[in-house]
Chains A and B, each alone.
Chain A
Amino acid sequence: MKPNPKELIAPSRLEAPATCRRSGLSAFRSSCQVLGLAALAILSAGLLCAQVPWGYWPPPAGPAPTTPMAQRSAQTTVQSQVTWFQNSTQTASNYGDGGYGIVWQQFQALQGAFNAFKGTLTQRQLSAGANELAELDAGLGILEEAFTNYQQDVADGQSSTSAFNNMCQVLRQASGVWLQEFNSDCSRLQVGWQ
């Protein structure tokens, strides 16, 4: 059975229904609305651009953005990482020999988060907070010493359980002190402020 030729005609060539026919005006209105939306998009982009120096999405590869939002996000990551690190010092003893590795891994993650945080600071903040940032860096170095001390204590004959518990307690408390300093420095350096 041959198909009806009328059925082969593209829909666009079909007779328009009454609603479309009377809408020469409607088509004009639609295109005006599209133009209006485009204008709004440009305005919105202009607004965003004023607050986000790196421009439009996606941000370019290379140096991290130094916007207040990026700073707040990096600050929160450091704070959360300290909490996770502290949690790991509390639970690591349940993992037997693997506990040391877990705590060490969390510590390295904290170092990474802090380095990323520093990457979000403006030149002005880096310069004004050079001493504070050097102290925070040194603080992480002191925390790292606790891992060496643990190994030394075990080599000196202290039981590994006792040495590990000591290390974890020192790390937990000292990282709390470090976090206090970090928070107070962030506030002083106006991290994440508009």
Chain B
Amino acid sequence: MFEKILFATSASSTCDDAAHVAFELSRKNRSKLFVYHVFGLPGRGFSLTYRDVRTGEAENVDENLVSLVKEEMAQYYEKLGRDHPDCVYETATGEPHTEILRKARKDDASLIIMGAHNREEDVGAMRHRAIAGTTMQKVAKSARCPVLIVSRPCVTCWSYFANIVVATDFSKPSDYAFQFARNVAKEIGCRLHVFHCVDLGPEGQQSSATQAYIEQQLAVAEKKIQDKYVANMGDFDNYVVALREGTPHVEVLKYAREAKADLIVMAHHTKDVDPEQAMLGSTIEQVVLRSACPVLSVNHPDKVDVTPYGVPRAE
């Protein structure tokens, strides 16, 4: 299904859940897996030092350090990589999101897999800090291929997924998210839930929406879903349509829990948000924060066509 998977990792325990998904998915699909770690921030212009993003201490970058980091990565993932001889460990120094995007472009990755955070946090601390890792946000915003964000242990193997929820707001990127979700659901033979929430603003806030207005909006949404998505299902018939009204991220999460979703597929930014401004506070960040299942961000039409179980591995 995915020819090349780029697993961007901090090579620490915060990416363990994402690592399990990356190794398992690439093994099942016989994909080429790149385990990629970007460390440190270079000085402006040419520099032989990098700054450790955790401690803030400056270190010298030389071949020894790079090989040491690679060795540490290989050791860290030794158990997972045992069944995966083709796995390639690579490192780079620089701004993590820039390097990850560069690497994905260069290698024509079909999927990027990331954890949501780069450090262990108390759940309470997430209220203050960037809701999800800034690297993840920047990669999800600009990547041309789908980005899978895994922040919790994923108990179900990808190929055994039973329910995929695609949350749409009818924007162009949402259409690509739908295409991807439909293709994956068809490929692995699971149920697709096409979900839309009529946005009534923040929970508890006085809304001027009357019942008649809500019902009218729901009817409009139903029609759009029929025209845009149901009409494009082709021979795929294992789908349900679900409509809710309320605060989008709350309703997406509630529905995903009700439907026992194994995967939520969404666009990172929507028609309402300038892609350059689409950062914190978007619905997907809120969904990633609390979702019990992996969340997949799709923004471009590239790589939405999943080929049947990838290319055969060279013997």
> A and B bound?
no
Q: Point out residues on B near A: beta carbons under 8 Å.
A: none
